[in-house]
Amino acid sequence: MKNNELLKRGENLVRVLDFKDGQVFIVDCRKRTMPKWVSADSLSGYIPCPAGELDSLPDINELDLQSRKFAYEHFTYIAAVLPFLSDKRKRCAAIAQISEERGISKQTVCHYLWLYLVWQDVSALAPKQTTAERPPTEDEKNIRWALNKFFYTQSKNSLKTAYTLMLKEKYCDAEQGLFPARPSFYQFRYYYRKHKKMQNYYISRNGVKNYQRNNRPLLGDGIQEFAPAVGVGMLDSTVCDIYLVNEAGGLIGRPILTACVDAYSGLCCGYSLSWEGGVYSLRSLMINVLSDKVELCKKHGIAISPEDWNCRRLPATLVTDMGKEYASNTFEQIADLGVTVVNLPPYRPELKGAVEKFFDVVQSLYKPHLKGKGVIEADYRERGAHDYRKDARLTMADFEKIILHCIVYYNSQRIIENFPYTENMLAENVKPYASEIWNYGMKQTGANLIAVDIDSLVLTLLPRTTGKFGRRGLVVNKLRYKNEEFTERYLEGGVVTVAYNPEDVTKVWLLENGVYTPFSLIESRFDGKTMQEVESIKGGRKAAIRAAEEENMRAQIDLARHIEIIANSVSGREDVRVKDIRDNRRRERQKAHIDYIKENVVDE
């Protein structure tokens, strides 16, 4: 008999902890009892057995950090008991003291002591590893079905309602009587709380769009992922929180502000303030980005220095959302200039936070000073709220001056508190203004800006269609165009790509190998007209023709009738002499000849 030896007899299994004077100190490995002294004779019939009779334990070093921490902490609890293990009085006193000091029950201390004595390994104190999940019961299957059917839906039923509907569908007999064996509402709620997943909850009840906008974890690095240097422009539009009037005082509505903001520095590269959104506002925005900002401000009576707004080149990367105007083929044509267009996934405003911040700041700058002059407040959609349209006082020209002042402040005087300054920036004393950071960034090697002239930009952003060469010229949108240098192309024919201006059909531009060649309109009656006006004229002509078709058909029928009457009234000859044709013709000509002077001119 040895210390820590396992002995077995039938189903009984004990571990020898100590022995002396015919007494053996053992712990029962089957029953959760404290060790005790027994006589050596009482162990007759027990035979030694391997440690494999006990459940295997993982190596302490193979456990995860939390499990190892748990095991060692609880071994610390019982370590003070082990020296007094064989003395029952001292052992009980030590257990009571540990229970009081650690704030746990004596039964818990005894439980961990028994585990260690049975296995003689600290890993026995670690929490049990989770085993494979048991198959769900029939009630659990019904609860899961009811949650998916009645709770995780856009109907947004309460748990109580979903439970009631489950009972109606699964626990009622033919007479609508409830089965006596059924899960309680507390079991239903427990199962829901145990298996609840917040992502599933938000998407199923509110929709994926609402989840992406309001509940999705914001784990991206935001702007720093897209803008390591100057040259990443972020585009967006917003409807301004103000009503405007025209010069006559008539209400027009709320203008649309479109902006391009450099993600690295926060500089507003350009803006467009208009009544029309879509591709039109984007074209105006791109032109504004390339324009001379000093001259632009001067036209509105604002004096700035070139360093305050030093942007006359396009960012090489334009980041947009999935708006239809940005995803249109017309805007994506800007890639012909070397610009890369990045379309963000929907409902990810944090990925273009620079332009979102720009709108917030600009509107917060002018709104406090324009209250009572058309600015709307947060309650403008609520019932009984003030009608802010009646307060409108400013025209578009007035409001644009205000917007320009706000942009100049935003670029050159607003402090950027969270910009990640580098050592070089601090050494060069770069001030925390967007214009200062922009000017510094333009000198760095990573700056990525594209120099483009405005004419090329405008032609690039024109909508495109196919044209066809033929003998009648270059036919585009059912209109004919000419260029004297393309005679051979007219004869050869062929389909080509053409850029056109929907606002004036006087010219189109043939696009070949990146070169725009102008063609002038042949049909001069359409000079200076818009595409819509041309379609209206052609539609009117077609309508007039359709209206006259019935009258024309009646006239043809009448003509046929008159011809038939005359033809039938002539008595024909069976034989016609074909001789003496010249003489007959001469006599008939003399007979039919009229002297118009004699007949019509009266002598004075």
| pLDDT tens digit sequence for 488-512 | 999 999 999 999 998 999 999 999 9
Using the 8-state DSSP alphabet, how is residue 601 labeled? P
Question: Residue 380: what pLDDT?
Answer: 75
Residues 384, 486 within the same domain: no
Q: How high is the mean pLDDT of the chain?
A: 88
- How does pLDDT run across 127-170, given as a tens digit for each residue? 876 656 789 999 999 999 999 999 999 999 999 999 999 999 99
Check pLDDT > 70 for residue 39.
yes
What's the domain range around 157?
Answer: 138-215
Residues 237, 381 within the same domain: yes
Question: Residue 322: what pLDDT?
Answer: 64
Residues 152, 209 within the same domain: yes
**Helix residue ranges per DSSP H, 316-383:** 329-332, 353-366
- How does pLDDT run across 379-392, given as a tens digit for each residue? 777 777 788 888 89
Location of structure tokens 């702007």 = 223
| Alpha-carbon span 235 to 255, nearest angstrom | 17
Question: Residue 604: what pLDDT?
Answer: 55
Question: Residue 258: what pLDDT?
Answer: 93
**Is residue 485 in a domain?**
yes
Which of 168, 196, 215 marks a domain boundary?
215
Check pLDDT > 80 for residue 577.
no
- The pair of structure tokens assigned to 397 is 């020209």
- DSSP secondary structure letters along 524-564: GGGTT--HHHHHHHHHHHHHHHHHHHHHHHHHHHHHHHHHH
Average pLDDT (230-253) is 91
**Is residue 510 in a domain?**
yes
Residues 189, 251 within the same domain: no
| Alpha-carbon span 226 to 350, nearest angstrom | 12
401 confidence band (pLDDT: 50, 70, 90)? very high
Residue type at 279? V
| Alpha-carbon span 529 to 532, nearest angstrom | 8
Residues 89, 228 within the same domain: no
Q: Which residue has the higher pLDDT, 71 or 217?
A: 71
Question: Residue 223: what pLDDT?
Answer: 56
Question: Residue 491: what pLDDT?
Answer: 92
Question: Residue 395: what pLDDT?
Answer: 94
| Alpha-carbon span 68 to 73, nearest angstrom | 9
| Alpha-carbon span 289 to 311, nearest angstrom | 7
- How does pLDDT run across 85-135, given as a tens digit for each residue? 888 899 999 999 999 988 999 999 999 998 888 888 888 888 876 656 789
| Alpha-carbon span 482 to 521, nearest angstrom | 7
**Helix residue ranges per DSSP H, 340-471:** 353-366, 396-412, 423-427, 434-442, 454-460
Check pLDDT > 80 for residue 52.
no
Residues 302, 174 within the same domain: no
Q: Considering its fold, how many domains does the chain have in total?
A: 4
271 forms beta bridges with: 259
Question: Residue 404: what pLDDT?
Answer: 95
417 confidence band (pLDDT: 50, 70, 90)? confident
Residue 197, CA atoms < 13 Å, CB-side half-sphere: 6
CATH number at residue 374: 3.30.420.10
Residue 231, CA atoms < 13 Å, CB-side half-sphere: 18
Question: Residue 325: what pLDDT?
Answer: 59
| Alpha-carbon span 552 to 362, nearest angstrom | 65
| Alpha-carbon span 442 to 229, nearest angstrom | 9
Closest by alpha carbon to 521, among 483, 469, 492, 465?
Answer: 483
Residues 256, 344 within the same domain: yes
| Alpha-carbon span 425 to 308, nearest angstrom | 18
What percentage of residues in the chain have a pLDDT greater than 70? 94
Residues 38, 152 within the same domain: no
pTM of the predicted model as reported, rounded to 2 decimal places = 0.62
Question: Residue 220: what pLDDT?
Answer: 59
Q: What is the 3-state secondary structure (H, E, C) of 415-434?
A: CCCCCCCCHHHHHCCCCCCH
Please give the span between the terminal C-alpha atoms of the chain, in angstroms, as a whole number.
168
Residues 115, 153 within the same domain: no
- How does pLDDT run across 427-486, given as a tens digit for each residue? 999 999 999 999 998 988 888 899 988 998 999 889 999 999 999 999 999 999 999 999
**Is residue 355 in a domain?**
yes
Residues near 252 by beta carbon (within 8 Å), at least 6 away in sequence: 243, 244, 245, 246, 275, 396
Residues 287, 321 within the same domain: yes
394 confidence band (pLDDT: 50, 70, 90)? very high
Which of 384, 419, 450 marks a domain boundary?
450
**Is residue 181 in a domain?**
yes
Question: Residue 366: what pLDDT?
Answer: 94
597 confidence band (pLDDT: 50, 70, 90)? confident
| Alpha-carbon span 285 to 288, nearest angstrom | 5
Which of 515, 531, 547 marks a domain boundary?
531
**Is residue 55 in a domain?**
yes
Residues 296, 415 within the same domain: yes
**Is residue 603 in a domain?**
no
Average pLDDT (395-408) is 94
Check pLDDT > 80 for residue 347.
no
**Is residue 498 in a domain?**
yes
Location of structure tokens 């601090």 = 426
Question: Residue 210: what pLDDT?
Answer: 82
What percentage of residues in the chain have a pLDDT greater than 90? 46
Residues 195, 228 within the same domain: no
